Structure formats: structure tokens, C-alpha cells
Amino acid sequence: MSTLAPLRLLREPSNASEGNHSNATVGAGGGWCQGPDIPNELFLALGLVSLVENLLVVAAILKNRNLHSPTYYFICCLAVSDMLVSISNLAEMLFMLLLEHGLLVMRPSIVRHMDSVIDTLICSSVVSSLSFLGVIAVDRYITIFYALRYHSIMTLQRAVVTMASVWLASTVSSTVLIAYYRSHTVLLCLIGFFLFMLVLMLVLYIHMFALARHHLHSISSQQKPPIAHRGGSLKGAVTLTILLGVFFICWGPFFFHLVLIVTCPTNPFCTCFFSYFNLFLILIICNSVIDPLIYAFRSQELRRTLREVVTCSW
């Protein structure tokens, strides 16, 4: 294994043989079918950056009592999920390098067991990240459209139940996924979950974007529109667009890969697409790097706390 391959159980369908892969490489464009050779160092670098960023977010939220609210607890859980993605990737990278260089000698059965444990942890972090992205979208929707009732709707008890439910469901579903990864039913459930989260976020953000646009139009119709309010509305609308765009760009290729595994596992062009699996994993890790910048660092209170954490001004 020359490159890091978390979730490599989903790299290609089980019925795609080496012969099919070779025929696809020859028949569909040769070099185009050979996925990019992504160095292990890139996985390590992105994993470390993501780990540090998300660790800072968690530390800042725990430090500042003003951030002890359901909204920031959800952001903290998202940071923990992204952090687990990084830790899992780094752990698998270290595990693979030790085995390849003969520094770690283990029986094949133990290696397979460790591999399953790491893959389960990676799957759990992926599912929980997707889930908390949706939870944050719902939380922001309630904040905007039910502002006066927010604290009665999103109580601390409900927030804790939501977080515990997400972690439990992620652990159970990831265990099932790794145990039955060859089943198309399991893959269809995972694809359906992604599409559900995508549609949910799309509907909520479009509704919030429409509200921001309506608010901007109302301000513009006034005789003397306040420039500050106009800029704030535009900034909010652009932010929502960026959130959905980053989500789709980073996660879309990986789940399209799963769709092709189910629909055309032996088609030459689909097999070519499978060879780009590591690139799709890079995009997922990049999402873990970008998430703190979008969801956390845009908060003035959180930025101030982060500066205190970095400079050790406790």
C-alpha cells in the first residue's frame, strides 16, 4: 500500500477484477485512468492542520463560558468529528508505515482486526460530521425563523439528547457498514443518507437566503437605506452559499464514487473513476480543514478566545 487509503474497503466494488481494471485503463484513455499519485506527506500535513485547527476550536469553546450554548456545543461536536477524521487518518498512516518498514510485526489476523477498528472509527467520524453539519443547519434555521422561541425550542437537555443520539447512531451505522461493506443495500443507505443531508441543507439554506434577500430588498426600498445593514444581509447570504458549496464540492465526489459502485461496477469509465479514490479522500480531509474557518472562526467571540488560547492568556 503505497498511499494512505482510509475507507479503502469502498475503494472499488468487490466484483471489479484486476482484469476489468486493466481493460479499462487501456480502453478508456490510458493515463487518464491512472489516478493521481498523492504522497503520504500530503495526507499527513492536511491531517495535522485539521487536528490543530479543530483542537483549538474545542479548547476555545470549553474555555469561554459565553460559548456554552447549544449552537457552540454543536460546533464543538463538529470539530470533534473532524478531529477524529484527522486522528484516524494519522493513526492508519503510522500503522501502515510501521508495517511496510518492518518496524511492527503482527499476525495477519491482528492486522485485519486493527484495520477494521480504524476503518470503523473513520466511518463513524464521517457519518457524525455529516450529521452535525445538518444539525447546525437546523439550529441556524431555528435561530433565524423562531428567534423569540429559540431558547424554549433548543433547550440544553434537547441539545444533549441530539448530540448523544448522533454519536450513538454514527457508531452503530459505521460498525454495520464495515461489517457488511460488500452489500449494495448498505451502500444505498449511506448514499441515501448523504442525499438526505444535502437536500435538508439545501432547503434550509435556500429559505434562509430568501429571507436575507427579502430583508435586503426591504431595506433598499427605504428612502435612506442603512449601508451597514445592507452589508450584513449580503454577507449572511454569501456565507450560506459558501457553506453549501463547500459541502457539495468536498463530499460530492466521494458519494458519486459510491453511486458508481452500485450502478456500474464493471463499466470501463466507472472503473477509471474509481482510481481517483484517494483524491476524493483528500477533499474530505480538506473539508475538515475548512469547517473551522466557516463555522467557528467567523465568530468574533470565538476568534477572541482562540487568540487567548494560542497566546496562553488564560
Rg value, the chain, Cα:
22
**CATH 3.40.50.970 for the 39-221+229-311 domain, yes or no:** no
Kindly provide the b/e burial profile for residues 191-205, where b requires at least 16 CB atoms within 10 angstroms of the residue's own CB. bebbeebbeebeebb
Tens digit of each residue's pLDDT (9 = 90 or more) over 173-206: 888 887 777 777 888 888 888 889 888 888 888 8
pTM above 0.85, yes or no: no
Residues of the chain above pLDDT 90, percent = 9
Rounded CA-CA distance 124/207 in Å is: 30
Delimit the domains of the chain by residue range. 39-221+229-311
Q: Tell me: the pLDDT tens digits for 191-244?
A: 888 889 888 888 888 887 777 677 666 666 665 454 444 444 455 556 666 777
pLDDT in tens, 119-139: 788 788 888 988 988 898 888
CB 301 within 8 A of CB 66: yes
What pLDDT, in 10s, does the model give residues 64-81? 888 898 989 998 998 998
Residue 134: all three cell numbers together: 445538518
